[in-house]
Amino acid sequence: MVAACVLGFLIVFVLVGPLIWRIDPNFIEPDTAKMFKLRNKPPSLAHPMGTDQLGRDMLARMMFGGRVSLAVGLVAMFVAIFIGTAVGVMAGFFRRLDGILMRLTDLFLALPLLPLLLVLMMLFRDPVARTLGPRFGTFLLIVLAIGVTSWMSASRVVRGEVLALKEREYVLAARSIGLPNRRIILRHILPNVLSPVLVAATLGIAGAIITESVLSFLGLGFPPDFPTWGRLLYDGIAEIRSYPERVIWPGLAISLTVLSVNYIGDGLRDALDPRIRGR
């Protein structure tokens, strides 16, 4: 419950916040003399979290960064869950595909994911950014890269569930009245694997947010004018001695988000899976 409240507060902060706090996160004072005066301001009424080394308002940047971070987490999770569920259902339902799809899953599990993600970002970031624009291109690349490298656990869970569900009487009944496989999967199998998928999805959001911020932290994530919490933290580290709050705020935001999402995922698992209740 506490976790849901914290997450709710963070979501309100990043979604509603910019409607109230109407400062452009990328606004740099065009007049150079004024800009220099605005740099590195401590927290004040005009700038509750101070300003950064270019005089941009930190509060506005935190809100904007949170939007991007959460969006990355959500979309990457959708990509991963989509692939994972598709692979899992196929492997569980069609025995012929099972072997090859599970080998594929094993192969992906044996890939060194973080180094591979870094390589992907290094090689594809600039070309993709050139064709699709630096913001949308990077977003798409990061989301796809994280999604493609994190679907394996979901597919394994789904496969296990489907293998068990497939033998149930109602699936047999559906098959005996001549329902095609596609309808059986959509009507009878998918709704019943929803709860493990939901748990995997929740934990997947947390993983995706962490992965994105790691990429940003290693300097291979979003460009500086399109900040995420990870990127803000990365930018803050250069001046951690003089302005530690620029590391603390984004780091705290990431940690609280991931912590509350993980707690919600755990709670969901306990609520949806009666077998492990009371552990």
Residue 123 lies near other proteins (rule: CB under 8 A)? yes
The interface mask with other proteins, positions 197-226, x = CB under 8 A, is ---------x---x--xx--xxxx------
**Least distance between other proteins and beta carbon 61 (Å):** 17
Contact by Cβ (8 Å): 204, 81: yes
The answer to whether residue 86 forms part of the interface with other proteins (CB under 8 A) is no
- What type of residue sits at position 140? L
Residue type for 257, please? T
CB 200 within 8 A of CB 154: yes
Closest to other proteins by CB, 184 vs 256, is: 256
Segment lying near other proteins (by CB under 8 A), choices 40-48, 54-62, 124-132, 187-195:
124-132
Assign 57 to helix, strand or coil: strand
Nearer to other proteins, 54 or 259 (CB): 259
Q: Does 120 bind other proteins (CB under 8 A)?
A: yes
Least distance to other proteins from the beta carbon of 201, Å?
17
| Near other proteins by CB under 8 A: residue from 15, 111, 164, 194 | 111
Least distance from other proteins to the Cβ atom of residue 25, Å: 21
Binding mask 10-39 for other proteins (x = CB under 8 A): ------------------------------
Residue 106 binds to other proteins (criterion: CB under 8 A)? yes
Cβ(63)–Cβ(22) below 8 Å: no
**Amino acid present at 219:** G
Buried b (16+ CB within 10 A) or exposed e, 18-53: beeeebebeeebeeeeeeeebeebeeeeebebbbbe
Q: How far is CA 165 from CA 30, 59, 89, 93, 169, in A?
A: 63, 50, 11, 9, 9
CB of 209 to other proteins, least distance (A): 9
